[in-house]
Amino acid sequence: MTPRNQPMTARRVLVTGASGMLGAAVAQLLRKQGHHVRTFQRRASHGATDEVLGSLTDPQQIARAVEGMDAVIHLAAKVSFTGHWDDFVATNIEGTRRLLDAAQAAGVEDFVFVSSPSVAHFGQPLAGAAAGTADPAKARGNYARSKAAAELEALSRNNDRFRVAAIRPHVVWGPGDTQLVERVIERAAGGRLPLLDGGAALIDTTYIDNAADAIVRGLERMQQAQGLALVVTNGEPRPVGELIAGICRAGGAPAPKLSVPGWLARGAGAVIERAWLAAGARNLVQDEPPMTRFLAEQLSTAHWFDQRETRRVLDWRPGVTIDQGLAQLAAHYGGKAPLQAR
């Protein structure tokens, strides 16, 4: 972790979505630094001593969660490559609006909105790009569109009495990650993970410890970060095929060798996504289709970012390299049998 020049005065901080990998890491880091942490999520989180269970659709539960808090770090969201637009609106847009309203009414001083670089990724390659402006009309996929609208809403509330910053960690991964790591390993183990265009697209990613540290740093540096949207990555762009191979190696699965043209995967992904939704597949236990247009674009186009502004504003550097993160991932899976294909 990046050493702090001056530790932040202990505060009462609400963390939403703390049952997820990143939310849990943020809450743990805040506690380690001496802050009083309250969590807000739908299911109980391990080890929490002050938590409010509830949903972003319930204003009364939200009001209980923000009562007496100095700051909010908002991570809770519907995260999926596919799904019906109304579901994303209810949680990501309307839920964020309710939380902002409640936080302002409760006298919360600082609000960190955890966003995604996808809010400003419009399907074209991004090479050394700046953060860019969120645009719900151009963002790809319902998740990105809804997060773009929510980010704009959050930043529009920024003022001297209610400071708001948006932190956009990019492709967060690490031990215990079910969104990326375990899906990669499971699909690779079952021979269901082709590379697109040979896995040559250059992408930035963020190791979990670095993502949590940067988010907390955003709260610490709110005076400098307020009103801004900052992309956070490890700053080590690599070919997506190389990263996938490293994750597979750590988890004991064979790295994929089959390559599929990106244009073909993008077209097939659009068809699969429509059929998936039409069949009501969101009600299944495993509710992610094998491919969507958005996922195909992410795997076949470059997306890596200029980190100079982020590091200047946050006065921050990542503390764990990609190689160190892969070593920690291998240690996490060490001695275990590879995950079996499902």
pLDDT in tens, 245-289: 999 999 999 998 887 776 555 565 555 556 656 666 444 434 566
- The average pLDDT across 167-175 equals 95
* For residue 77, pLDDT beyond 70: yes
Q: What are the percentages of helix, strand and coil residues in the chain, rounded to 5? A: 45, 15, 40
Query: Is the alpha carbon torsion for 314, 1, 244, 338 positive or negative?
Result: negative
> Is 238 within the bounds of a domain?
no
Q: Write the CATH number for 226.
A: 3.40.50.720
The confidence score (pLDDT) of residue 187 equals 84
Q: CB neighbours (10 Å) of residue 86?
A: 9
> Is 287 within the bounds of a domain?
no
* For residue 338, pLDDT beyond 70: no
> Is 135 within the bounds of a domain?
yes
C-alpha distances in Å from residue 96, one per residue of 51, 88, 222, 244, 331: 19, 11, 19, 33, 37
**Residue with more model confidence, 94 or 126:** 94
Phi, psi for residue 185 in degrees, rounded to 5:
-65, -45
> Is 270 within the bounds of a domain?
no
The confidence score (pLDDT) of residue 284 equals 41
Task: Indicate the SS3 state at residue 35.
Answer: coil
> Which residues of 101-237 form beta strands (DSSP E)?
110-114, 126-129, 163-169, 172-173, 195-196, 202-203, 206-207, 229-232
pLDDT band at 16 (very low <50, low <70, confident <90, very high): very high
Residue 308 burial (CB < 10 Å; 0-12/13-18/19+)?
Answer: exposed
Range of the domain at 156: 12-172+205-233+304-320
Under 8 Å between Cβ of 295 and 187: no
The confidence score (pLDDT) of residue 197 equals 78
* For residue 9, pLDDT beyond 90: no
* For residue 296, pLDDT beyond 70: no
The confidence score (pLDDT) of residue 236 equals 96
The confidence score (pLDDT) of residue 287 equals 58
Catalytic status, residue 207 = no
Catalytic residue among 143, 304, 316, 333: 143
> Is 288 within the bounds of a domain?
no
> Is 89 within the bounds of a domain?
yes
The confidence score (pLDDT) of residue 283 equals 43
The amino acid at 181: V
The tally of domains found in the chain comes to 1
> Is 30 within the bounds of a domain?
yes
Residue 100 burial (CB < 10 Å; 0-12/13-18/19+)?
Answer: buried
The confidence score (pLDDT) of residue 65 equals 97
pLDDT digits (tens, 9 = 90+) for 19-76: 899 999 999 999 999 999 999 988 776 666 799 999 999 999 999 999 999 999 999 9
According to the per-residue pLDDT averaged within each range, which of 94-103, 114-123, 135-144, 263-272 is highest? Answer: 94-103
> Is 124 within the bounds of a domain?
yes
**Residue count (the chain):** 342
* For residue 341, pLDDT beyond 50: no
* For residue 136, pLDDT beyond 80: yes
The confidence score (pLDDT) of residue 43 equals 79
pLDDT band at 340 (very low <50, low <70, confident <90, very high): very low
